[in-house]
Amino acid sequence: QVHLVESGGGLIQAGGSLGLSCAASGRTARSYAMGWFRQAPGNEREFVAAINWSGKNEYYADSVKGRFTISRDNAKNTVYLRMNSLKPEDTAVYYCAAKQDYTNSDYAAAKDYTNWGQGTQVTVSS
């Protein structure tokens, strides 16, 4: 079982930058694919970014491509999301998620993730 704890959310002005962290516990955490999802009030949870177990492959939603960067440090069992050029529409609760990695995995499918963090609020003011 993998336990996830996010940190780093907050209030930021549009155009600013913010970094999120997700600390994973559990012996097999470093073999898991990791993803970031977000959910704004009244909206469904949506995919933001994902990274495979080794960190060699990254995946992004079109809405954040070029602005957000996902990375991981397996020695620290931590995944990061660096968010630049933030927009008011990026306001949401951001969730970290984990799943066992496998070939041809659909990294954007929330239903495939088995472990979720509690979420951290990101608010971007205009």
Residue-wise pLDDT tens digits, 13-58? 999 999 999 999 987 777 899 999 999 999 999 999 999 999 999 9
Token pair listed for 115? 């472990």
pLDDT at res. 17: 98
pLDDT at res. 30: 78
Phi, psi of 79 (to 5 degrees): -115, 145
Identify the three-state secondary structure at position 22: strand
Return the HEC string of 63-104.
CCCCCEEEEEECCCCEEEEEECCCCHHHCEEEEEEEEECCCC
For the chain, what's the residue count?
A: 126
- Amino acid letter, residue 125: S
CA torsion angle 81 101 52 62 (round to 10):
-70
Give me the residues paired with residue 71 across strands: 80
Residue 83: CB atoms within 10 Å? 24
Say how far apart CA 47 and CA 35 lie, in whole Å. 8
pLDDT at res. 38: 98
Find the mean pLDDT for residues 71-90. 96
